[in-house]
Amino acid sequence: MLRIARPPGQQVRRPRPAILILPGSAPPDPAWPVERLATGLARLGYVAVVPHRGEGVPASGDEEARQALRCLHARAPACGIDPRAVAALGWEDGGAVAVRLATMSPDREMACVLEFAGPLAPELLGLPASTRGAPLGPNPDVEGASARTSFFLACGTGDPEPLPAQYAAAARCLERLGAEAQVCVVKGDRAFPLEREYWKGSLDRGIEFLAQHLPAPPAP
d(CA 12, CA 46): 13
The answer to whether 184 touches 152, Cβ cutoff 8 Å, is yes
Q: Taking 90 as the threshold, does the pLDDT of residue 41 lie above it?
A: yes
Q: Strand pairing of 57-58 and 47-54?
A: antiparallel
pLDDT at 220: 58
Question: pLDDT digit string (tens) for 171-187?
Answer: 888 888 888 999 988 88
DSSP count for the chain of H helices, then E strands: 6, 8
Give the up-direction half-sphere exposure of residue 29: CA atoms within 13 A in the CB hemisphere: 12
Confidence of residue 63 (pLDDT cuts 50, 70, 90): confident
Predicted confidence (pLDDT) at residue 36 exceeds the cutoff of 70: yes
Model confidence at 116: pLDDT above 90? no
Domain residues of the chain, as ranges? 2-133+147-213
Query: For residue 126, what pLDDT is reported?
Result: 63
**Angstrom distance (rounded) from CA 17 to CA 80:** 9
| Superfamily designation of domain 2-133+147-213 | Alpha/Beta hydrolase fold, catalytic domain (3.40.50.1820)
Predicted confidence at residue 207, as pLDDT, reads 93
Helix, strand, coil distribution of the chain in percent, nearest 5: 35, 25, 40
Average pLDDT over residues 187-213: 80
